[in-house]
Every structure is written in structure tokens, then in C-alpha cells.
A and B are shown apart, each in its own frame.
Chain A
Amino acid sequence: MISVNLVPPKIKQKIQNLKNVTRAKNGAIFTIIIFLLIGFSLKIFNLAIDKNIDQTQINQKNNQAKTNQKQVLAINDRAKLAIQIKQSQIEWSTIIETMNNNFNANLTADQINLSSTQTPNASLLIRTNSEKNLTDFKNKITASNFTKNVFIKNSAITALANDKNKVLKVVSNLEFDINNTAKETNE
């Protein structure tokens, strides 16, 4: 088959040029689309990462951790100090209450000295009308779990003058130490 190119060279050139422009246009559009695709892909990728690493959240977490750390240290410091002080303390209310419950009408305390720093921890000047009352009281105090080394230091027994029933006046110094380990055991 014989083909005869009847198109004039000028038009041929125009067609060629138009083809070139179209190619250039397509190439340009393709390039721009590629760049936009790269850009948006990166943005989407970053957004995904941002979800995992939220700077504000991290800062908040760090600040909270630092606050907690400071609080824990401060509490620990004071708690240890308080425990140390409390361990050496004596619960005087319990001791006085127990002593008070063991006094009776025939047994009077003229003076009670209690001290956590001196030995003995307790010194009681007691007045009664029989040695038995005093011994009973001593036995009760000894039986309680907060005392140790209970002893009667001085005891003066005098018969009251003009007394037909020979009632005695017993003045005694009862002393004891506080057994602070009993408190710890109870705890």
C-alpha cells in the first residue's frame, strides 16, 4: 500500500508542536501531582506520629511525674521523722487512766510525777490506811502490760493517834518504768 503524505510541512510542524505542548502539560501535571502526593503523604504520616507523641501530653506527664516525685520525697521525709518520734513517745493518757481505775477510796495519791526522760518514768506518793491496799495497787500496776520495774521505794507506816481500831497511815513512794515495747506490740 502506498501512502502519500499530503499534509503540508507547516501544519505537520504545528501538530508536532501541539503534541509537544500537550506532553509538557501532562508532564507538568504529573510532576505537580507527585509533589502534592509526597507532601500530603508526609503530612498524614506526621499526623499519625503526632497522635502517639503529643508533646503537651508528654510535658504534662513529665510535670506530673516531677510533682509526684517531690511529694513522695517530702512525705517520706516527714513520715520517717514522725514514726521515729512517735516510737519513743509514751501514751500518758492510757497510763493515767489505768492508774486512776486502780485507785480506790482508801488509796490516795498526793503527788504523781511522770517523765519520759527520767528513770524511773513514774513516781507516785501514795497515802493509804493499810499495807494490803498498797500491795494490791502495786500488784495491779505490775500486772498491766505498760509497766516494768515496779517497786516501793520508801514506806512509812504510822499508827494514827487516838485510834481505837489501830488504823495505820501508810505513806509510800511507788516507782515504775514504762514498758514502751508493749505499745509497739499492740500496734
Chain B
Amino acid sequence: MDWTALSISLRLSAMTCLLLLPVGLWLGRALALSRFRGRSLVEALVALPLVMPPTVLGFYLMQAFGVQAPFGAFWQSLTGGGLNFTFKGILLASLVANLPFAVQPIQRAFETIPSNLREAAWCSGLSPAQTLWRIELPLVWPGMVSALALTFAHTLGEFGVILMVGGAIDGETRTLAISIYDRVQAFDESGAAIMSAMLLLVSFLTIGVVYGLAGRSRWRRG
């Protein structure tokens, strides 16, 4: 059992969730409520990581992260370090790869709020910020839970993107999914089996939490 890889996987998933939640809320709400030029384009871009092969996404990110590329050079001038083959690099890649999983459930949740509800809140003297906090968020939380769980579980299982950008470096970028692949290559089938079972269990628990919470909210509404 590669505990280092497990802790890297959990840390990566957790940080991806934390950083994407505000992005998902803002972008999901904007896409659901406002009508602006190029909205379909933004929606398409957000959904793109869903349909792109992970190796393709990984390839482009690796190119962009390179110290000779504009983005990589900018990052280096900012932080003094490169992005490829570092934890920061796979975290950034994971943020991009998980964008649809964080945005889409929240967007769907905002779309179900009738617009007259918000107008009623405004008429009752609530500011837009108060409306968001006291009316909208309590209604979209099941969407936020789905977004968190999907992002978490998907990051745990991500392979292609992480391998391309991270290079499977022990203690830095080798996640559990990649460690399983390495164990199989090293003819260590029992190690791979234990870690696969671990990943299966964590994924099942994550999804279980979502369905549990979603079921409870259904039951409460009657």
C-alpha cells in the first residue's frame, strides 16, 4: 500500500474541490441566470474537458506549462519555479479537467430557481447579496454537494492528465491511480489489488455521501 500516493491523491482532490467550489458557484450562476454574448461559447469551453481525451488535455497543459511557453514563463517569473512535474502543476491541471464537474451541477441547480422567487425577495427589501445568501444558496445546495462529490471522485481517478503533466514522481505527483499502474508494471499484483480496492472504497463512499444527502433532501421536501 502506497500511503504517500494515497495522501497525495486525497490532498489533490480536496484542494481541487476547495478551489473549484467558488468558481463553480460564480460561473454556474452566471451561466444559469445571465444572458450575454458568447454564453454558448463559454458553456462549450467549460464542457470541453468532459469530451476531450485526457491525454490530449494533458498534452496541451504540458505544452502550456513548459518554461519556454508564455504561460509557463509567466508562472516562473511569478513564483520562481516551473509547473510541469510539480504538485502545483497537477493541481492546476486538475482544476481545468474538473471544471465541468464543478460548474454543471451548480448551473442546473440555479436554473431550477424560478426568477419570480428572486424578484419577490428583492421586493421584500433583500439586497442581491442577501438574496444569494438567504434564498438562492439554500436552494442550490444539493447541486453544490453533487459538484463537490463528482469533483472529488473524478480527481481521485484521474490518470492521463496527471501522468502527462506530473510524470509520476514519488512523493510529489504520483497519485494512487498512477501508483496502481506502476505496481502492475513491477509485477506486484497484490499491491495493485490492495490499492485498487482502496480506491473503489473511497469512490463508493464519496458517491454514497451524495446519494445519501440527496435522498434526505427529497424526503424532507416530502
A and B: bona fide binding partners: no
